[in-house]
Protein backbone atom coordinates (compact mmCIF):
# COMPACT_ATOMS: atom_id res chain seq x y z
CA UNK A 1 0.00 0.00 0.00
CA UNK A 2 2.83 2.39 0.81
CA UNK A 3 4.37 1.85 -2.63
CA UNK A 4 1.05 2.72 -4.25
CA UNK A 5 0.95 6.05 -2.41
CA UNK A 6 4.49 6.87 -3.51
CA UNK A 7 3.64 6.02 -7.11
CA UNK A 8 0.59 8.31 -6.99
CA UNK A 9 2.69 11.07 -5.44
CA UNK A 10 5.38 10.59 -8.09
CA UNK A 11 2.75 10.71 -10.85
CA UNK A 12 1.22 13.87 -9.42
CA UNK A 13 4.64 15.48 -9.10
CA UNK A 14 5.50 14.57 -12.69
CA UNK A 15 2.21 15.98 -13.92
CA UNK A 16 2.82 19.23 -12.03
CA UNK A 17 6.32 19.50 -13.45
CA UNK A 18 5.04 19.03 -16.99
CA UNK A 19 2.20 21.49 -16.40
CA UNK A 20 4.53 24.22 -15.18
CA UNK A 21 7.30 23.54 -17.70
CA UNK A 22 9.89 22.43 -15.14
CA UNK A 23 12.69 20.02 -15.86
CA UNK A 24 12.05 16.29 -15.98
CA UNK A 25 13.50 15.87 -12.50
CA UNK A 26 11.89 17.01 -9.28
CA UNK A 27 13.79 18.83 -6.59
CA UNK A 28 12.34 20.71 -3.69
CA UNK A 29 13.78 22.93 -1.02
CA UNK A 30 12.26 23.17 2.43
CA UNK A 31 13.09 24.97 5.63
CA UNK A 32 11.91 24.57 9.19
CA UNK A 33 8.68 26.58 9.45
CA UNK A 34 9.69 27.92 12.88
CA UNK A 35 12.56 29.78 11.24
CA UNK A 36 12.51 32.82 8.96
CA UNK A 37 10.15 32.68 6.03
CA UNK A 38 11.55 32.45 2.53
CA UNK A 39 10.30 35.27 0.30
CA UNK A 40 11.82 34.04 -2.99
CA UNK A 41 13.32 30.67 -3.89
CA UNK A 42 15.45 29.50 -6.78
CA UNK A 43 15.24 25.77 -7.51
CA UNK A 44 18.56 23.97 -7.99
CA UNK A 45 19.36 22.68 -11.45
CA UNK A 46 19.69 18.90 -11.52
CA UNK A 47 23.32 18.30 -12.63
CA UNK A 48 23.58 16.38 -15.94
CA UNK A 49 26.01 13.82 -14.53
CA UNK A 50 23.71 13.14 -11.58
CA UNK A 51 20.81 12.67 -14.01
CA UNK A 52 22.75 10.21 -16.14
CA UNK A 53 23.75 8.26 -13.05
CA UNK A 54 20.19 8.33 -11.59
CA UNK A 55 21.47 9.96 -8.41
CA UNK A 56 18.71 10.98 -6.03
CA UNK A 57 18.47 11.86 -2.37
CA UNK A 58 18.52 14.69 0.12
CA UNK A 59 20.99 17.55 0.47
CA UNK A 60 21.16 19.66 3.62
CA UNK A 61 22.66 23.13 3.54
CA UNK A 62 23.21 25.34 6.58
CA UNK A 63 22.42 28.94 5.64
CA UNK A 64 23.46 32.10 7.47
CA UNK A 65 20.97 34.89 6.69
CA UNK A 66 21.64 38.60 7.24
CA UNK A 67 19.09 40.79 9.03
CA UNK A 68 17.91 42.18 5.66
CA UNK A 69 17.17 38.65 4.34
CA UNK A 70 20.17 37.99 2.08
CA UNK A 71 22.16 34.77 2.28
CA UNK A 72 25.53 35.56 3.82
CA UNK A 73 27.07 32.08 3.68
CA UNK A 74 26.31 28.41 3.18
CA UNK A 75 27.80 25.19 4.49
CA UNK A 76 27.03 21.66 3.32
CA UNK A 77 25.68 19.53 6.16
CA UNK A 78 25.06 16.40 4.09
CA UNK A 79 24.18 15.02 0.71
CA UNK A 80 25.55 13.42 -2.43
CA UNK A 81 28.64 15.23 -3.78
CA UNK A 82 27.13 15.44 -7.27
CA UNK A 83 24.14 17.39 -5.93
CA UNK A 84 25.53 19.74 -3.28
CA UNK A 85 27.00 22.45 -5.53
CA UNK A 86 23.72 22.95 -7.39
CA UNK A 87 21.94 23.34 -4.04
CA UNK A 88 24.49 25.83 -2.72
CA UNK A 89 24.28 27.88 -5.92
CA UNK A 90 20.47 27.95 -5.75
CA UNK A 91 20.12 28.79 -2.06
CA UNK A 92 22.55 31.71 -2.42
CA UNK A 93 19.85 33.33 -4.61
CA UNK A 94 17.11 32.94 -1.99
CA UNK A 95 15.67 35.96 -0.19
CA UNK A 96 14.32 35.65 3.37
CA UNK A 97 12.01 37.85 5.42
CA UNK A 98 13.83 40.61 7.33
CA UNK A 99 14.63 40.04 11.01
CA UNK A 100 16.25 41.95 13.83
CA UNK A 101 19.43 39.84 13.74
CA UNK A 102 21.43 37.38 11.68
CA UNK A 103 20.04 33.84 11.78
CA UNK A 104 21.20 30.36 10.85
CA UNK A 105 18.97 27.58 9.60
CA UNK A 106 19.18 24.36 7.63
CA UNK A 107 17.57 24.03 4.21
CA UNK A 108 16.86 20.55 2.85
CA UNK A 109 16.59 19.73 -0.85
CA UNK A 110 15.12 16.46 -2.10
CA UNK A 111 16.09 15.18 -5.55
CA UNK A 112 14.07 12.46 -7.27
CA UNK A 113 15.23 10.92 -10.53
CA UNK A 114 12.40 9.97 -12.90
- Residue 15's pLDDT is 32
- Going by C-beta distance under 8 Å and a sequence separation of 6 or more, which residues neighbour residue 52? none
The answer to whether the CB of 71 falls within 8 A of the CB of 32 is no
State residue 59's pLDDT score.
Answer: 96
Q: What's residue 32's pLDDT?
A: 54
- What pTM was computed for the model? 0.69
Predicted pLDDT at 34: 58
Q: Which regions of the chain are under pLDDT 70?
A: 1-34, 114
Q: Are 103 and 35 in contact (CB under 8 A)?
A: yes
Residues 6+ apart with CB under 8 A from 9: none
* Distance of alpha carbon 112 from alpha carbon 114, whole angstroms: 6
Amino acid sequence: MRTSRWRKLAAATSAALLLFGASAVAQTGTTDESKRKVKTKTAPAYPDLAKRMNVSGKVKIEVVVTPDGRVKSTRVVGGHPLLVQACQDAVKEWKFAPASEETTQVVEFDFHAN
